Structure 1
């Protein structure tokens, strides 16, 4: 007992890990008490009326479940959360080995209120699918042009799940392909042509979903079809977000700008949450500076700007600010892993696990349970 206490005193980051597990369990229990309005209706919408945006998950489930119960939201999204968590642990172990000296970085990433805890809070939303694909690509071998093709096919699946993935995770997936495949194996006419063609297919599918995936049948017919797929058709309150499939892009932008005066008040909170992860950002910057090739350093810098620009566009289009800033941070975490796979001219010192400032930031990040969906917390 005494030796265990001493180990905890020597390395409190282990205790932070345990605290993060407890927080995740608490967030999950809280989510079980909430009505999954948006996630549930996404499990009902399919391709019954033709090509439809946001319908891939519902269409797939309809092949196995003629009637969809509310519990399926928590079962499916919980399974995806567990898979994503397992994949990230494997990725971190491959990149950093997960020794005691790596625990601060692991806690500040895996225990971040931006990451797994917020994915638990947004259980049933589609963000985590993009993250799961990106981690899978970081783990997969990238020795041939097949890697580019798989990344493109995965990106198209994400767009069929929700077209906003074009801005949310497809840019990060593109960065992973560039850093892991093109910078390592080089550019030639063949693989560049494949990459350009794959990117064109992804963009074309996005525009198809955005402008041709809107419902054209009367809303009453749409609602009746959704009720026919519900295990409890009397729960019409769960269909209150059906207008999403009729709403054009112009209306989404209008709603976002109308909410901007109140939503923008959360920016100082977002800035503070980003600052809590300053040891990660410092380590990221040091890792980029340590790259042995100047072209690699410039490419990584441009990639961060590209991904961030995509999120700025989302801020102007859709008002779920807490989700966007959280996923932006997750994308930065994943790009760091891609950077660590590039040749470096010198080792980068790990995040200090004895530094008092790092300890304080680690505890605060651990105890913040999530960031939220629209406004902070």
Structure 2
């Protein structure tokens, strides 16, 4: 290994993170992909259906769906997301020595790429991927607002929970990168409000009119006909989620709430371990040259956080929600970095002993999980 890696703990952390990611991947492919696989089978065969867009696209190219496709598609989405994130970081900060701690706390966070590897095949990563694309694309024209609306509509069709999970962050990125820079005109305000209304209506359609209208036995029989190996019937055990009303999801969440709340201290500890990054984020906001920009950034963070609070009350995949909330904060940080600042923000100290310890702990934690911590 290069001598510089051993001399610089932050470079060594990157190498260890790569090794941890490989371990998480090998563990992941040994697990049965119950939820991700069934999403590849569901399409619009019985009419408009929630959570069916990815399966509908696959049905255009393949009549039978093998299990390995979960890992192939999930792995491709992960690689593209990771690659675009690296490009975003390089373009925003650069890969000089002074910014390595920031990269480690983001890319090496157990909330981010490592947890996306653990949830390989789930739909969360698509929201992150689209948001990174919007951070990379130029935001000068009205086409940017329309592209964000198209991304948001696609996410809602993939899974309607994206209305709370990543659509608010996408909206925040559009506001910070387009409206605060280009200004608000009658035309772009009209397009923005119309886009929000259309996405809201699409969510209502998916949530309340996307439930299966045929008996569950007929639905399962159709899904089995699309399986490359129809004998693996256990992989269809989650078919009930296309019939379960919102009230039942909320009831189940509150039934599990006392037990799941035991994980809150762990989540708080994991967030606290990112203190150097949060301190940098706050300093970044504080150095914005306009007070109005600081207030709008604060409002965007509150709105995004409220969306996740609503999800906490509705669906019990708490580890995923906390992880994606943290990723959304990372993404908003990049949008803030693009705003005019009165002075440069000092980078995270690479020599501070406490920061180095936090960096190592964050590096060694393999992932956060799906429902409960780890």
In which range does the TM-score fall when normalised by the shorter chain? over 0.9
Question: Take 1:281 and 1:36, find their aligned partners in 2: how far apart are those partners?
Answer: 34
Question: Take 1:309 and 1:220, find their aligned partners in 2: how far apart are those partners?
Answer: 38
Match of 2:168 in 1: 171
How do residues 277-316 of structure 1 correspond to structure 2 at under 5 angstroms?
277-316=274-313
Tell me the TM-score normalized by structure 2: 0.99
1:13 is the counterpart of 2:10: yes
Question: Take 2:262 and 2:85, find their aligned partners in 1: how far apart are those partners?
Answer: 32
Deviation sequence 1:237-290 (CA, Å, 0-9, x none) = 100000000000000000000000000000000000000100110000000000
1:270 is the counterpart of 2:267: yes
User: Unaligned regions of 5+ residues in structure 1, if any?
Assistant: none
Question: Take 2:280 and 2:190, find their aligned partners in 1: how far apart are those partners?
Answer: 35
Deviation of 1:8 (Å): 3.3
**Runs of 4 or more above 6 Å deviation:** none
Deviation of 1:225 (Å): 0.4
Match of 1:118 in 2: 115
Deviation of 1:65 (Å): 1.1
Match of 1:332 in 2: 329
1:226 is the counterpart of 2:210: no
Deviation of 1:10 (Å): 3.8
Question: Take 2:223 and 2:311, find their aligned partners in 1: how far apart are those partners?
Answer: 29
Please provide the CA RMSD for this pair: 0.7
**Residue 315 of structure 2: which of 315, 318, 322 is its match?**
318
Match of 1:139 in 2: 136
Deviation of 1:234 (Å): 1.0
Question: Take 1:98 and 1:351, find their aligned partners in 2: how far apart are those partners?
Answer: 13
Match of 1:357 in 2: 354
Deviation of 1:77 (Å): 0.3
Question: Take 1:16 and 1:10, find their aligned partners in 2: how far apart are those partners?
Answer: 11
User: Unaligned regions of 5+ residues in structure 2, if any?
Assistant: none
**Residue 244 of structure 2: which of 247, 251, 259 is its match?**
247
* Count of residue pairs the alignment pairs up: 374
Question: Take 1:157 and 1:289, find their aligned partners in 2: how far apart are those partners?
Answer: 35
Question: Take 2:203 and 2:176, find their aligned partners in 1: how far apart are those partners?
Answer: 24
